[in-house]
Amino acid sequence: MCYDVATNYKRQLKEAERLGADKSEIDFLSKKLKELEKLKRYNESIEHYYTSGFSHQKLGVITADKPDELQFFQWGLIPFWVKDSKTAQKLSNQTLNARGETIFEKPSFRAAAKKRRCLVVLTGYYEHYWADAKGKRKIPYYIEFKNKLPMYMGGLWEEWVDKETGEVVKTVTIVTTEANSALAKVHNRDESNPRMLNIIPNEMKFDWLHEIQNDSDKKFIESLIRPYPEEELTIYPVGQLRGKNGLGDVPEAHEKVEYEDIEVPLFD
Partner DNA sequence: CCAGACGTTGTT
Partner DNA sequence: GTCTGG
Which of 86, 215, 223, 243 binds DNA (CB under 7 A)? It is 243
Q: To the nearest whole angstrom, how small is the minimum distance from the Cβ of residue 160 to DNA? A: 12
- Assess 62 for contact with DNA (CB under 7 A): no
Which of 108, 123, 171, 180 binds DNA (CB under 7 A)? It is 108
Q: Taking phi first (over 0 means left), then psi (-120 to 50 degrees means alpha), and beta for anything else, what does residue 76 get?
A: left
- Assess 43 for contact with DNA (CB under 7 A): no
Which of 74, 97, 171, 180 binds DNA (CB under 7 A)? It is 97
Q: What are the contacts of 211-218 at 24+ separation with CB within 8 A? A: 211/64, 212/114, 212/115, 218/104
Backbone angles phi, psi at 144, to 5 degrees: -150, 175
Which of 10, 26, 64, 106 binds DNA (CB under 7 A)? It is 106
- Assess 104 for contact with DNA (CB under 7 A): no
- Assess 259 for contact with DNA (CB under 7 A): no
Q: To the nearest whole angstrom, how small is the minimum distance from the Cβ of residue 94 to DNA? A: 3
Query: How many residues does this entry show for the chain?
Result: 268
> What part of residues 161-220 is at the interface with DNA (CB under 7 A)?
176, 187, 189-190, 193, 195
Looking at residue 202, the DSSP 8-state letter turns out to be G
CA-CA-CA-CA torsion for 35, 37, 15, 175, nearest 10 degrees? -50
Which of 43, 94, 115, 266 binds DNA (CB under 7 A)? It is 94
What type of residue is 241? L
Which of 42, 104, 130, 220 binds DNA (CB under 7 A)? It is 130
Whether the Cβ atoms of residue 76 and residue 2 lie closer than 8 Å to each other: no
Whether the Cβ atoms of residue 171 and residue 157 lie closer than 8 Å to each other: yes
The vertex-17 CA angle with 11 and 18, nearest 5°, equals 85
Residues that bind DNA (CB under 7 A): 1-3, 52, 54-55, 81-83, 87, 91, 93-99, 102-103, 106-109, 127-128, 130, 134-136, 138, 176, 187, 189-190, 193, 195, 242-244
